């Protein structure tokens, strides 16, 4: 009972904190934290795929680009309500994720990494090809640009919904199927888990989360959709966020999102790191150090601390 209660209390406290935070934040910081919410959604989606299903993707920036351009195009040409574009990009990127997931069924390991990397590099080129409608490298803008408070509220509401959806999806039958595929595809298939269905589903859901994050990403960058916002570096940052967070942990996702979202801001205050691309240096160093020292990311570290504190109560010496 106690073990179920603690996470619930934590979630509730976190939700209240996030809901009240805008009251105490300056307008600029609201925008900044809206960014964190956007990364939270994207990294959550990536974690479902990489951490829970064991399928690597270096291409989630591409899905963010598709989602982002969906919002920009619909708002620019059809003056669609910005909120209404979110379910639309969810649906479109879900379909795109399924489409990518189908060939991805045949790739394993490095081949999947290669294919998704190629996706991340080539999708941002497409708006340049059809620049008549997308504004080319100059980008295009949504019809309206919302305030930072609006952005904060919408991105964290979406983040909460996404978290709840991910939790519901992963706790039951589907989540078990995902994890069994991650641990051993062969054992999963032998136990009657349909690899084609669950792998493509994981790709679809994961891409859809990234798509919504992409829509919000365009909104938090003043409603501008530009190819150079969605370079391969974005995909790499998401993967790094997921790795720092701890693959296969919903809890770590918040840490990963804060890391990716706030590091650029934080590093301008630090003397060496602030100039030029010092943040990339920190990104790279931290992820390498984390992978070398903390294979399970921040979440793994917390879990290890937790189990050390609770070890005498939880574990039975005779059993171990």
Partner 1 sequence: MVAFAVKRKTKVSTGGSLPVLLGLVAAAVFLAVGSLVSNIFAQQTVAGLAQGAIFASLALALVLIYRATEVINFAQGEMAMATTYIAYQLTLWHVTYWLAFFLTLVIAFFLGVVVYGVVIRPVQHRSVIALVIITVGLFILIDGLVTWKWGADLKFMPAPFGNQVYHAGGVSFSRQDLGVLLVSILSVILLWVLFQFTRLGLAMRAAALRPAAAALVGVRVDWMLAIGWGLAAVLGAVAGLMTEPSQFLQPTMMQSILLYAFAAAVLGGLESPAGSVVGGLAIGVFLNLIGQYWGFATAELRLPIAFVVLLVVLLFKPTGLFGRKQVRRV
* Residues near partner 1, by CB under 8 A: 50, 54, 56, 58, 103, 106-107, 109-111, 113-115, 117-119, 121-123, 125-126, 128-129, 186, 231-233, 236-237, 239-240, 243, 247, 275-285, 287-288, 291-292, 295
What are the distances in angstroms from CA 174 to CA 112, 137, 211? Answer: 22, 41, 21
Nearer to partner 1, 31 or 300 (CB): 300
Nearer to partner 1, 103 or 138 (CB): 103
At 198, list the tokens. Answer: 């669950």
Instruction: Write out the DSSP string of 130-153.
Output: THHHH-GGG-EE-S----HHHHHH
Around 52, how many Cα atoms within 13 Å sit in the side-chain half-sphere? 29
Nearer to partner 1, 129 or 308 (CB): 129
In whole angstroms, the minimum distance from the beta carbon of 184 to partner 1 comes to 10
Tokens 């209404």, located at residue:
84
The DSSP H or E segment spanning 224 is: strand 224-225
In whole angstroms, the minimum distance from the beta carbon of 214 to partner 1 comes to 18
Nearer to partner 1, 7 or 109 (CB): 109
In whole angstroms, the minimum distance from the beta carbon of 105 to partner 1 comes to 10
Distance of alpha carbon 286 from alpha carbon 309, whole angstroms: 26
In whole angstroms, the minimum distance from the beta carbon of 11 to partner 1 comes to 28
In whole angstroms, the minimum distance from the beta carbon of 239 to partner 1 comes to 6
Distance of alpha carbon 84 from alpha carbon 74, whole angstroms: 9
Nearer to partner 1, 172 or 274 (CB): 274
In whole angstroms, the minimum distance from the beta carbon of 90 to partner 1 comes to 24
Nearer to partner 1, 25 or 189 (CB): 189
Distance of alpha carbon 305 from alpha carbon 47, whole angstroms: 22
In whole angstroms, the minimum distance from the beta carbon of 111 to partner 1 comes to 6
Nearer to partner 1, 85 or 235 (CB): 235
| C-beta separation of 64 from 230 below 8 A | yes
What are the distances in angstroms from CA 47 to CA 58, 140, 153, 178, 206? Answer: 12, 30, 23, 12, 8
Q: How many helices (H) and strands (E) does the chain have?
A: 17, 2
């Amino acid at each position: 009972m106690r073990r179920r209660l603690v996470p619930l209390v934590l979630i509730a406290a976190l939700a209240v904190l996030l809901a009240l935070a805008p009251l105490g934040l300056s307008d600029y910081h609201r925008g900044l934290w809206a960014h964190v919410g956007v990364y939270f959604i994207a990294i959550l989606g990536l974690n479902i795929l990489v951490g829970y299903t064991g399928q690597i993707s270096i291409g989630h920036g591409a899905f963010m680009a598709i989602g982002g351009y969906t919002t920009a195009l619909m708002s620019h040409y059809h003056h669609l309500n910005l909120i209404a574009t979110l379910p639309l990009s969810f649906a479109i990127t879900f379909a795109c994720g399924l489409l990518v997931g189908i060939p991805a069924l045949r790739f394993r390991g490095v081949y999947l990494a290669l294919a998704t990397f190629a996706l991340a590099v080539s999708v941002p080129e497409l708006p340049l090809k059809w620049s008549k409608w997308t504004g080319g490298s100059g980008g295009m803008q949504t019809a309206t640009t919302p305030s930072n408070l609006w952005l904060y509220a919408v991105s964290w509401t979406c983040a909460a919904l996404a978290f709840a959806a991910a939790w519901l999806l992963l706790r039951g039958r589907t989540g078990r199927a995902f994890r069994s595929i991650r641990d051993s595809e062969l054992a999963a298939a032998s136990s009657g888990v349909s690899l084609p269905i669950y792998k493509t589903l994981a790709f679809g859901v994961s891409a859809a989360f990234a798509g919504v994050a992409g829509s919000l990403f365009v909104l938090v960058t003043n409603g501008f959709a530009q190819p150079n916002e969605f370079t391969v570096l974005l995909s790499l940052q998401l993967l790094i966020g997921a790795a720092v967070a701890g693959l296969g942990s919903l809890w770590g996702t918040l840490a990963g999102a804060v890391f990716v979202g706030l590091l650029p801001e934080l590093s301008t205050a630090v003397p060496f790191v602030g100039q030029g691309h010092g943040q990339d240096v920190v990104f790279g160093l931290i992820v390498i150090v984390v992978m070398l020292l903390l294979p399970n990311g921040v979440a793994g570290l917390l879990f290890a601390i937790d189990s050390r504190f609770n070890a005498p109560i939880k574990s039975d010496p005779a059993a171990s």
